[in-house]
Amino acid sequence: MHYIQQPQTIEANSFTIISDIIRETRPDYRFASPLHEAIIKRVIHTTADFDWLDILWFSADALEQLCDALRHPCIIYTDTTMALSGINKRLLATFGGECRCYISDPRVVRAAQTQGITRSMAAVDIAIAEEEKNKLFVFGNAPTALFRLLEHNVTVSGVVAYR
């Protein structure tokens, strides 16, 4: 039996297919920049959903700020283990960064029960209390985590969120 076995070749072929579909179905679509294109196509690749062409939004200079933050030692806090699993931790470590997900941390479980809040909210509280300087947050499916971060009214290096 003959089939492609090399992961890089499979991935490259997948991105070629995505590009072809965009070109065929949305010939007038233009990406704001090569970085926007890479990110949007990665999201489409991950989700198999071309609607992201229309619904993925980036605030002004967000990508540049995120790239700058990722070039330095940083901590990426995620709201779910699923979001955590999608981050290339080996690559992040080459820049001195690491990931943390506190959703199942006993401190979070206890705080959520005691305060009557979601675990995602309690996880944000713990992350904010940490002394780390370069903090990024990735929220995949917990809008209460995003709202809690906004309630803290703190400056962080970046936020990636789905609300």
Catalytic residue (choose from 36, 45, 72, 152): 45
45 in catalytic set: yes
CB neighbour list of residue 20: distance below 8 Å, 6 or more residues apart: none
**Sign (positive/negative) of CA torsion 141, 145, 150, 153?**
negative
Alpha-carbon distance 22 to 50, whole Å?
8
Which tokens sit at 7? 């992961």
- Assign 3-state DSSP to the chain and report helix, strand, coil percentages, each to 5: 55, 10, 35
Alpha-carbon distance 150 to 107, whole Å?
21
Q: How far is CA 65 from CA 3, 77, 107, 131, in A?
A: 41, 17, 31, 21
Residues with catalytic annotation? 45
